[in-house]
Amino acid sequence: MAGNVKVFMLMAALTALVMALGWMLGGQGGALIALLIAGGMNFFSYWNSDKLVLRQQGAVELSPRLGAELYDLTADLARRADLPMPKLYLLPTQQPNAFATGRNPDNAAVAVTQGLVDTLSRDEIAGVIAHELAHIKHRDTLTMTVTATMAGAIAMMGNMMLFMGGREGRGGAIGGILAMIFAPLAAMMVQMAISRAREYEADATGAAICGQPRALASALQRIAVAAGRTVNVPAERNPAAASMFIVNPLHALRADKLFATHPPTEERIARLMAMQGGAAPAPDLSPSRIPQTGRRTPWGRG
C-alpha cells in the first residue's frame, strides 16, 4: 500500500510539472492544452506501447513449438502467479536481460534476450521470468509506460520553452533555458524514483513466485556484470525504455550510469538473500562471475 501511495504521489508530481510548463508557455490555456497533450500521448501509449517497444528491440514471438521449454517454464510460473499466460518473446541480443510490457495482465508480454537463455541456468531464468511476471501482476508495465510518456512530453515542452520563453511565454529567455535544462531532469528523477520502487517489489514477489530467492539473486548478479561489458544495441538506440529491463541495459561506460533507472544491484541481492534466510553475504560482482563462453542450459546451448 505504501508503495502504491508513493507511485501516486510521483505521478501527481509529473502531472503538475506538465501543467506548470504549459502555464509558462501559455497561461491557464497552455496548462490545459499541455494536460490534454500528455493525456493523448498516454492514451496512445496505453494501446500501442507494447508493440512499439517490442518492435524497437527486434523481438521474435515464441510459441509451444518455437522455444517449447522456455514457453512451458513461463506457463508454469504464470499459473503459480495466478496470471494468464503472457505472450513470450526472444530478443536477438547477447546481453542477458529481460523486460515485461503490456497494458494489463490479459494483454501482457515477457521478453528475454538470447544472452539470458545462453548464459543463465534454468533456475536463474525462472527467477528472472518470475520477476517480470511480478511486474505484470502489480500492473507496473502500465505505470512505467505512462511515466516514460509523460517524461517525453516534459522534455519536448522544455525544448519549446527555450524558443517561446523570450516571446509570449512566461519567464523570459532565461526561464526558457532553465526549463529546457531542469524540467527533463526533474522528470527523469521522478521516473527513476518510480522505477526503483517497483523493482524492489517485483524482486520480492518474483522470488515468492519461483520459490527461489537465491536463484533470482544469482541471476541479477550475472546480468549486472554482463550489462557492463556487453552492448545492447537496440536499448542504446532507445534509452527511454531502459527502465523496463530487469537490470539497466545501457552500457556501463556511458554517462547514463549517473542517472541509473534501477536500484543498486548489491542492495537488491542483499534483500533477496535476506528472504532466503540468514545474513546476506557481500555479493561478488566481479567479471569472473559471468562465463566468457556459452554454458549448457535447458535449451541445449553449450
The domain of 281 spans 2-289
Q: How many domains does the chain have?
A: 1
CB-CB contact of 116 with 129 (8 Å): no
pLDDT at 144 (0 to 100): 72
The sign of the torsion formed by the CA atoms of 52, 54, 59, 65 equals negative
Number of neighbouring beta carbons within 10 Å of residue 229 = 12
Judge whether 254 lies within some domain: yes
Average pLDDT over residues 276-292: 49
Judge whether 297 lies within some domain: no
Specify which residues 245 forms β-bridges with. Answer: 99
Judge whether 44 lies within some domain: yes
C-alpha to C-alpha distance for 162 and 106, rounded to whole angstroms = 42
C-alpha to C-alpha distance for 111 and 58, rounded to whole angstroms = 10
Q: Regarding predicted confidence, which is higher, 97 or 161?
A: 97
Question: Does the annotation flag 131 for ligand binding?
Answer: yes
Judge whether 55 lies within some domain: yes
Judge whether 299 lies within some domain: no
Q: Regarding predicted confidence, which is higher, 300 or 218?
A: 218
Q: How far is CA 64 from CA 68, 100, 101, 170, 282, in A?
A: 5, 19, 20, 58, 39
CB-neighbour burial class of residue 296 (10 A; exposed 0-12, middle 13-18, buried 19+): exposed
All three cell numbers of 12, joined, read 501527481
Tens of pLDDT along 135-175? 999 988 877 766 666 666 676 666 666 565 544 555 555 55
Question: Does the annotation flag 236 for ligand binding?
Answer: no
CB-neighbour burial class of residue 278 (10 A; exposed 0-12, middle 13-18, buried 19+): exposed
Judge whether 296 lies within some domain: no
Tens of pLDDT along 40-96? 776 776 777 778 888 888 899 999 988 899 999 999 999 999 999 999 999 999 999
Judge whether 124 lies within some domain: yes
All three cell numbers of 171, joined, read 519567464
Q: What are phi and psi of 3, to 5 degrees?
A: -60, -40
pLDDT at 260 (0 to 100): 62
- List the catalytic residues: 132
All three cell numbers of 277, joined, read 534466510
pTM summary value: 0.76
Judge whether 103 lies within some domain: yes
Q: Regarding predicted confidence, which is higher, 69 or 177?
A: 69
Q: How far is CA 151 from CA 21, 36, 282, 288, 300, in A?
A: 12, 15, 35, 37, 42
Question: Does the annotation flag 251 for ligand binding?
Answer: no
C-alpha to C-alpha distance for 238 and 101, rounded to whole angstroms = 15
